[in-house]
């Protein structure tokens, strides 16, 4: 049974991985959306930056994890450092702490990333995915995207906003990501390229961790995903089911409709 606790009693620590190095495509917008949607409901939030200076105790307190996109040079700096935090991050994901990794981030959390020039970068292997950069001559996969969430773990939460499961975003990636045997896709593209421009899949999900190529940023125009992450964070932390108070999503719906209309999709 759903139990309503006084929202005030909830407190979440949102961990932002490498905010300086991995903040290329308005990623601050994803953090702001999580933070404000908690605060507007009286849920206390602390944003904890996880970077080169962080220690293991910082990571242990994280209730929701986020990482954004990085430029190639920054990505190679991050990957060297990320290995230090590998065990703790893996522990968080395994105990069902929700996470969102967008743009370049999923590449780091997959099995490996093969850049167009230079050595193959081994990722943390949390997602069973492989990413290969097709080389500077191959075209980047760029443009507005509209997709439908197909991942049952996310859809079954029965969030009104997620009902149609339609999400919008913008993609811009040279890398092509392929799902392995154990990987479950996050969504299927209706318009756009998605993981590789071939099989129609977009993103990947493992436990409560979502990887996605969509920025835009993703959460402001798709607040249902933000609410799903917040719900999962509370459920995991307080071992309690929770129903978040509804918020007015009119502006995000209108922003979403502009893209849907342009791509000829009815919401």
Partner 1 sequence: MLNYPLIISGKAISKFAKVLNLGNGSTWPGHIALNLNKKFIKQFLKKSKTKIVIIAGTNGKTTTASLITNALRHNNGKVIQNESGANLLNGIASTLIMHSSATGGLDADYAIFEIDENNLPLVLKEVTPDALLLLNLFRDQLDRYGEINTIGEKWKKSISFLSKKTTLILNSDDPLIAYMGKDTKNKKLYFGLHDSNHKNNHPQDDATDSSYCPNCNGKLIYKNKIFSHLGDWKCRKCKFKRPNPDVDFFENYPLPGTYNKYNTHAAIALLKHLKMKTAIIKQSIKDFKPAFGRQENIKYKNKNIQIYLSKNPTSFNQSLNTILDLDAKNLLIILNDRIPDGRDISWIWDTEMNRISKFKNIFVAGDRAYDMALRLKYEMGITDYQTRVKVIDNLKNGIEKAISYLEDDQILFMLPTYSGMLDARKILTGRRIL
Catalytically active residues are: 103, 215
Stretch that binds partner 1, among 10-18, 58-66, 92-100, 211-219 (CB under 8 A): 211-219
Contacting residue, 220, 230, 233, 236, with partner 1 by CB under 8 A: 220
Q: Is the Cβ–Cβ distance between 102 and 240 less than 8 Å?
A: no
Minimum distance of partner 1 from residue 31's CB (angstroms): 9
Which of 18, 101, 127, 170 binds partner 1 (CB under 8 A)? It is 170
Using the rule CB under 8 A, which residue among 9, 142, 240, 243 binds partner 1?
Answer: 142
**Looking at 2-10, 54-62, 139-147, 148-156, which segment touches partner 1 (CB under 8 A)?**
139-147
Per CB under 8 A, 74 contacts partner 1: yes
Contact 133, 115 (CB under 8 A): yes
Task: Please tell me the distance from the alpha carbon of residue 192 to that of residue 58, in angstroms, as a whole number.
Answer: 38
Residue 258, interface with partner 1 (CB under 8 A)? yes
Binding site for partner 1 (CB under 8 A): 20, 23-29, 32-33, 36, 40, 71-74, 77, 142-144, 170, 172, 215-217, 220-221, 248, 251-252, 254-255, 258
């Amino acid at each position: 049974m759903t139990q309503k606790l006084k929202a005030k009693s909830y407190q979440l620590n949102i961990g932002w991985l490498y905010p300086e190095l991995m903040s290329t495509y308005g990623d601050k917008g994803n953090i702001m959306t999580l933070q404000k949607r908690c605060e507007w409901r009286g849920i206390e939030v602390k944003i904890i930056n996880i970077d080169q200076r962080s220690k293991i105790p910082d990571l242990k307190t994280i209730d929701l994890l986020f990482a954004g996109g990085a430029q190639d040079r920054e990505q190679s700096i991050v990957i060297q450092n990320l290995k230090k935090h590998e065990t703790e991050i893996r522990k968080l994901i395994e105990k069902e702490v929700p996470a969102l990794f967008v743009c370049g981030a999923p590449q780091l959390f997959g099995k490996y990333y093969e850049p167009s020039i230079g050595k193959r970068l081994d990722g943390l292997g949390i997602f069973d995915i492989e990413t290969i950069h097709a080389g500077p001559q191959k075209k980047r996969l760029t443009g507005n995207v509209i997709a439908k969430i197909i991942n049952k773990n996310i859809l079954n939460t029965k969030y009104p906003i997620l009902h149609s499961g339609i999400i919008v975003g913008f993609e811009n990636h040279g890398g092509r990501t392929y799902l392995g045997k154990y990987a479950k896709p996050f969504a299927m593209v209706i318009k756009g390229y998605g993981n590789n421009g071939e099989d129609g899949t977009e993103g990947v999900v493992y436990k409560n961790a979502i990887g996605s190529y969509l920025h835009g940023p993703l959460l402001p125009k798709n607040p249902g995903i933000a609410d799903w992450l917040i719900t999962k964070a509370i459920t995991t932390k307080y071992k309690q089911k929770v129903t978040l108070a509804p918020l007015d999503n009119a502006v995000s719906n209108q922003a979403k409709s502009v893209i849907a209309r342009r791509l000829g999709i009815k919401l």
